[in-house]
Amino acid sequence: MDIQLSPTRALIEQLHTSLRQSFESSCEHIRTSHFYPDELIPHFPAARQQLDTAIRESEALLASAGPQDALSRLYELGAGYSSERPTPVREILLEVTEGPFLWLSAVLNPDPSDLLP
């Protein structure tokens, strides 16, 4: 049995909050991790600007078109997994969006075995 739920207004609003919080923790992780190059740090403001713009556009879409369109706009932030190395801003946004999108995916597509008593 495959369960798929549709995003709701409340879930999208929670995703907006989660993305904002994830930005702060992701930037701190990038600053302190040896995995990421220091060259990413100067790109935090540009990544923040792209995130804020996407959230504002998503909020507008949520009000006018509904949750699915709002979610589609946010997924554009996380798009970009490919064989090419991402730009510094894209690399930051991939880090920022990973946790919140995994959470939303688990909420919208629960494992049926998790629902059994």
The reported pLDDT for the residue numbered 113 is: 66
Q: Which of 36, 49, 33 is nearest to 91 (CA)?
A: 36
Query: In this structure, is residue 20 part of a structural domain?
Result: yes
What are 63-72's pLDDT values in tens digits? Answer: 999 999 999 9
CB 86 within 8 A of CB 5: no
Residue 57: how many CA atoms within 13 Å on its side-chain side? 14
Q: Is the pLDDT of residue 2 over 80?
A: no
Number of structural domains the chain divides into: 1
The predicted model scores a pTM of 0.85
Task: Share the mean pLDDT of the chain.
Answer: 87
The CATH code of the domain that includes 25 is 1.20.1440
CB 7 within 8 A of CB 104: yes
